[in-house]
Amino acid sequence: MAVDVLKEPGILDKKESELRAAFLYQVSNIPGGEKIKKCIQCGTCTGSCPVSYTMDIMPREIIALFRAGAMESVLNSRTIWICASCYACTVRCPVGIKVTDILYALKRMAMEKELFPKRFPIFVLSKSFVFLINRYGRSYEAGLLLLYYLRTNPLKLFSLLPLAYRLFRKGRIAPFPARIKKRKELSAILTEAEVMEMIVPEGTYPVVPKRAVAPGMIKAS
Amino acid sequence: MSYLYYPGCSLESSAKSYDVSTRWVFQSLGKELVELEDWNCCGATMYMSTKETISLVFSARNLALAERMGGDVVAPCSSCYTILNKTNKILKENFILKAKVNQSLKREGLSYHLKVKARHPLDVLVNDVGIDAIASRATHSLEGLNIAPYYGCQIVRPEGVFDDPENPTAMDKLFEALGGNNVYFPVKVRCCGGMLMTTFPEVALKLNKEILECAVENSADCIVTTCPLCQINLDAYQKKISKKFKIKVHIPILFFTQLLALSMGSTPKEAGLGQNLVPAGEKILGGRL
């Protein structure tokens, strides 16, 4: 794990301060997000996490690195992609930090900046999922897995055939995607939501320290 | 007041048996389930962690539809249940996001004013219908059946709306009242890995092995769960896990509504038992074939 050393103590370079402002804006949207300030570095989140054994940066260290001004290392970590959203950390945190939601915020940022290999599994899975539900209004499991493996590892499809066959015989694989009726209206809603997503009112990040604010940042992402 | 049923995408395909058995149980208890008209995917964890506003719009559309029909949403899938609850919470506390969501929903003539609650069928059955009322309708006792009640994550976390996030007991109490024996099962809220089974299978297989192994060691006859993703992960990969970790697991994984339906006198078909990959054995069926 490479942690960038700060050039001057207390002063962040431009990229880092932009990342920080973007992150703090995301955190300010989480109900109770401001509690991140209260982290006592006890490690309960790491200890509760069922998958921390395979992470490169522990959940506790995520907050430590954010404080140390190393957002870039955090965004490049494997950790944010391994989280399975079980919320064990969130319910156990003694000061009430929404660790899972913070990891989501980091995931969104990493996706926006595409800070991972092109065929990175979870990124591809998310993209395929989003594509399908935008189109049909409902998720289509078989289509999702097919798209996912075609884009990451097509050969794996063969090894999955026996299981797929067993599931199909039991009637657990739908041959066609289910769709909602009002697909046109749904796309209209989504187009509008896409615009809404980009509107970030100025001055909505109350927890941003003055020095770290990059003016005009995150206006249009 | 009727319950607005929101099956969710997986109950239409991979967890059809959950759908069938839930409808059967509610019908035989005389509780009406009206399907939410033209519902869409809740967006699940995957959308929530991709785009914030859009994912909220996705789930809020369902809540807005429910508000128009009037009634609370009943969502059997743990992920849908959590996402809908989370949407309610975020929109309640963040008026800017609420305005953005409503602005988008306006395109379909919808709007949402936070009047809908999202509930899980387990919550409805245990707290609205009541365990005693259910037990009085039971025709087949579960006596002698060792049950491992597995709750998974998202039904009790992050909020723990109707049960304890660390040690939930709703299902334990329900099956105890029906005569079953709940085995010692300390991993009842451990994570099964969810979608990691697709993206990082090595990690998910290990998590599932721990859950299955714990049930087998405590001589459970079946694992009973509330979540479609937990069910398929635990059910479909037992062969692979047995081979990989050199252990022997062969244990039926049922939805809690399936076992409930059986004890209320349904046929195996009405409980959707034909879909389980590891077949429910003689002990569960109790001679009803």
Q: What is the pLDDT of residues A44-89, one digit of tens each?
A: 999 999 999 999 999 999 999 999 989 989 999 999 999 999 999 9
Interface of A with B in 186-205 (CB under 8 A): 186, 188-194, 196-197, 199, 201, 204
Radius of gyration of chain B, Cα coordinates, nearest whole angstrom: 19
Q: How does pLDDT run across B129-152, given as a tens digit for each residue?
A: 999 999 999 999 999 999 999 999
Which residues of chain B are within 8 Å of residue A81 when distances are taken between CB atoms? 199
Q: Residue B288 has what pLDDT? A: 64
Q: With beta carbons less than 8 A apart as the criterion, state whether B118 and B72 touch.
A: yes
Which residues of chain A are within 8 Å of residue B57 when distances are taken between CB atoms? 189-190, 193, 196
Give the CA diameter of chain B. Answer: 58
Q: Residue A204 has what pLDDT? A: 39
Nearest by CB to A121, which of B47, B160, B199?
Answer: B199
Which residues of chain B are within 8 Å of residue A122 when distances are taken between CB atoms? 195, 199
**DSSP per residue over B49-94, as a string?**
TT-HHHHHHHHHHHHHHHHHH-SEEE--SHHHHHHHHHHHHHHHH-
d(CA B204, CA A122) in angstroms, rounded, equals: 14
Q: Where do we find the tokens 């009242």?
A: B177
Q: Residue A120 has what pLDDT? A: 81
Nearest CA among B69, B18, B12 for reference residue B256? B18
d(CA B283, CA B123) in angstroms, rounded, equals: 27
| Mean pLDDT value across residues B77-95 | 95
Residue B57 sits at φ, ψ, to 5 deg, of: -60, -45
Q: Residue A198 has what pLDDT? A: 79
Strands (E), B140-276: 146-150, 181-182, 222-225, 253-255
B160 dihedral zone (left: phi>0; alpha: psi -120 to 50; beta): left
The pLDDT confidence band at residue A220, using thresholds 50, 70 and 90, is very low
Q: Residue A117 has what pLDDT? A: 74
Q: How does pLDDT run across B205-228, given as a tens digit for each residue?
A: 999 999 999 999 999 999 999 999
| Mean pLDDT value across residues B86-112 | 95
Cα A201 to the chain's mean position, in Å? 22
Interface of A with B in 64-83 (CB under 8 A): 81-82
Residue A13 has pLDDT above 90, yes or no: no
d(CA B33, CA B193) in angstroms, rounded, equals: 31
Residue A211 has pLDDT above 70, yes or no: no
Determine how many CB atoms are found less than 10 A away from the CB of residue A41.
Answer: 11
Q: Residue A8 has what pLDDT? A: 61
Beta bridge partners of B119: B74
Say yes or no: B81 contacts chain A, CB-CB below 8 A: no
Lowest mean pLDDT among A157-166, A177-186, B147-156, B278-287: B278-287
**DSSP per residue over A140-184, as a string?**
-HHHHHHHHHHHH-TTHHHHHHHHHHHHHHTT-S-SS----S-HH
Q: How does pLDDT run across B1-48, given as a tens digit for each residue?
A: 689 999 999 999 999 999 999 999 999 999 999 999 999 999 998 888
Q: Residue A206 has what pLDDT? A: 32
| Mean pLDDT value across residues B94-117 | 95
Rounded to two decimals, the pTM is 0.91
Q: Where do we find the tokens 């539900």?
A: A133
Interface of B with A in 109-148 (CB under 8 A): none
| Mean pLDDT value across residues A1-24 | 71
Coil, helix or strand at residue A98: coil
Q: Residue A7 has what pLDDT? A: 54
Q: With beta carbons less than 8 A apart as the criterion, state whether B276 and B269 touch.
A: no
Radius of gyration of chain A, Cα coordinates, nearest whole angstrom: 20
A138/B40 touch (CB, cutoff 8 Å), yes or no:
yes
| Both structure tokens of B148 | 């491992």
d(CA B123, CA A10) in angstroms, rounded, equals: 50
Lowest mean pLDDT among A24-33, B163-172, B261-270: A24-33
Q: Residue A123 has what pLDDT? A: 85
Which residues of chain B are within 8 Å of residue A142 when distances are taken between CB atoms? 13
| Mean pLDDT value across residues B268-288 | 89
Chain pair A-B, CB pairs under 8 angstroms: 189
Residue B234 has pLDDT above 90, yes or no: yes
Nearest CA among B269, B258, B261 for reference residue B235? B258
Nearest CA among B54, B200, B89, B51 for reference residue A105? B51
d(CA A46, CA A59) in angstroms, rounded, equals: 5
Share the mean pLDDT of chain A.
Answer: 84
Share the mean pLDDT of chain B.
Answer: 94
Q: How does pLDDT run across A107-156, given as a tens digit for each residue?
A: 988 888 878 777 788 888 988 999 999 999 999 999 999 999 999 989 99
Helix (H) or strand (E) holding B3: strand B3-5
Say yes or no: B44 contacts chain A, CB-CB below 8 A: yes
Running DSSP on this structure, what letter comes out for residue A137? S
Nearest CA among B122, B118, B139, B74 for reference residue B257? B122
